[in-house]
Amino acid sequence: MKKSLLVALLTLGFSWVLTSCSSDDDNNNSNNDAIIEEVENIAESGDWIITSFIDSNEDETSHFTGYNFTFGSNGTLTATNGTTTHTGIWTITDSSNSTDDDNNSDDDLDFNIFFNVPDTNDFEDLNDDWDIDTYSSTTIKLIDVSGGNGGTDTLTFQKI
């Protein structure tokens, strides 16, 4: 009788631990999914300009002056200044399980930008899996900590 009771209590306790861990993970994923959806909706809600781009401690904001950025709901990214248009892709992904993550945050979300341009083009500098630093309905601030030299790049979009 004592053995059966001990086995039942151990089984119950083990089941509770497994269920508790799973619940925490599910809530984190649900929270990240909700944040991803919110930031996607914000990005898709209009046109944006770059108000700050710091690349390896150099202010390169002026390279994008006059460009309006449109984040399409189909994942297309368009930057145009009236005469020149660059087309790329964008996504937001949950990289909390990534082994090459730039920071130790458990809820790291990446704002991925890719323009298919030569390495010498200014838009190539925007190609990255940026971490979402902060966001609002009018501003999206992104950050990237370089794994090589430890420098920090920042990119800020402002809704127009």
Mean pLDDT of 142-152: 81
Domains defined along the chain, listed by start: 37-159 (2.40.128.270)
63-113 pLDDT, tens digit per residue, is 999 999 999 999 999 999 999 999 999 999 998 754 444 444 445 899 999
Distance CA 76, CA 50 (A): 17
Q: 7: which 2 tokens?
A: 């086995």
Mean pLDDT of 120-135: 96
Q: What is the mean pLDDT of the chain?
A: 82
* Main-chain dihedrals φ then ψ at residue 138, nearest 5 degrees: -125, -5
**According to the model, what pLDDT value does residue 97 have?**
53
**According to the model, what pLDDT value does residue 100 have?**
46
